[in-house]
């Protein structure tokens, strides 16, 4: 499965520019022959949270129209990173996933809101897991801060996801957390983990870039620098079974002991 991550700078509080950019970038990325194209977090507005009432996508309509049309035209699967969506007076940090026919397969609202960037003040948290199948392969995506919650990634691996995607707006001062956590999630879940970050900056943060594709053995098979990039790799999905065969972590789990913290 060939994947291409779109690492981009997001124009702060400027959906018009971001929609135009994303449309152009998806069309170019499709020329890499990708089976799956993935966008970063909050690509429509950036973290202009105080302006969401006027700039968030109403019921996600503009995003859905664009991604569905491009997926169908280009015959490519698209994991739509995430966008700020306004729905029934609430705001969500939401992912939409499309298959090659342009059909909406799933949507996901970020479950763990990031207080350090005031998400908890402006956004409503999701409550649902996120699993979908692309070309017959079970996969999952969460969003940015969700990466720190190993239980959440494990939940999706246990439900059969062989690829875990993490669209993000991860700041540069914690680049070492980003790289380490992505590798750790791949090693512990023995599956592919793909981090798609933004680069550039907003008034308060410099973003790290360094989108990363990690195999089930925890090896980095592709990594971007801190500039706008397409990051591509071919995922050999047989490596999931190979890694699990070498060290049977899933068979050796003791889930009866893990309920103690509730
Ligand atoms: O966990 C972090 O350090 C970054 C998280 C973040 O930036 C986000 O969730 O938007």
pLDDT in tens, 184-218: 999 999 999 999 999 999 999 999 999 999 999 99
Which pLDDT does position 259 carry in this prediction?
Answer: 77
Paired residues of 230 in beta bridges = 6
Contact (CB, 8 A) for 94 and 54: no
Nearest C-alpha to atom 1 of ligand 1 is from which residue? 145
Fold annotation for 2-257: Nitrilase/N-carbamoyl-D-aminoacid amidohydrolase (3.60.110)
Q: Is a pLDDT exceeding 70 seen at residue 71?
A: yes
Tell me which residue has its CA closest to atom 2 in ligand 1.
145
Mean pLDDT within 59-84? 98
| Choice between 157 and 259, residue whose per-residue pLDDT is larger | 157
Nearest residue (by CA) to ligand 1, atom 7, is 170
Q: Evaluate whether 19 touches 11 at the Cβ level (below 8 Å).
A: no
Which residues fall within 8 angstroms of residue 112, CB to CB, at 6 or more apart?
A: 125, 145, 146, 148, 149, 152
126: DSSP letter: P
Verify whether residue 41 is a known catalytic residue.
yes
Residue 191 known to be catalytic: no
Quote the ligand 1 centre to 228 CA distance (angstroms).
Answer: 19
* CB-defined site of ligand 1, < 6 Å: 114, 117, 144-145, 148, 169-171, 174, 177
Q: pLDDT grade, residue 260 (50/70/90)?
A: low
| Conformational region of residue 56, where left means phi above 0, alpha means psi within -120 to 50, and beta covers everything else | beta
């Amino acid at each position: 499965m060939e994947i291409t991550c779109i690492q981009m700078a997001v124009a702060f509080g400027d959906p018009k520019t971001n929609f135009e950019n994303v449309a152009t970038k998806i069309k170019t990325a499709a020329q890499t022959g990708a089976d799956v194209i993935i966008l970063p977090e909050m690509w429509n507005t950036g973290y202009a949270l105080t302006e969401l009432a006027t700039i968030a996508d109403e019921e996600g309509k503009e995003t859905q129209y664009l991604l569905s049309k491009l997926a169908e035209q280009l015959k490519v699967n698209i994991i739509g990173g995430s966008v700020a969506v306004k729905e029934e007076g609430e705001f969500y940090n939401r992912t939409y996933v499309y298959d090659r026919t342009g059909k909406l397969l799933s949507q996901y609202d970020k479950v763990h809101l990031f207080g350090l960037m005031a998400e908890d003040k402006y956004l409503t948290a999701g409550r649902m897991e996120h699993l979908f199948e692309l070309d017959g392969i079970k996969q999952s995506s969460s969003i940015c801060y969700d990466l720190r919650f190993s239980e959440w990634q494990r939940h999706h691996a246990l439900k059969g996801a062989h690829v875990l995607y993490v669209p993000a707006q991860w700041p540069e001062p914690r680049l070492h957390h980003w790289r380490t956590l992505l590798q750790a999630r791949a090693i512990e879940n023995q599956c592919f983990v793909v981090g798609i970050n933004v680069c550039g900056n907003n008034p308060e943060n410099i973003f790290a870039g360094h989108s990363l594709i990690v195999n089930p053995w925890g090896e980095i098979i592709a990594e971007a620098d801190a500039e706008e990039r397409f990051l591509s790799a071919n995922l050999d999905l047989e490596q999931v079974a190979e890694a699990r065969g070498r060290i049977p972590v899933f068979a050796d789990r003791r889930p009866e002991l893990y309920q103690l913290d509730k």
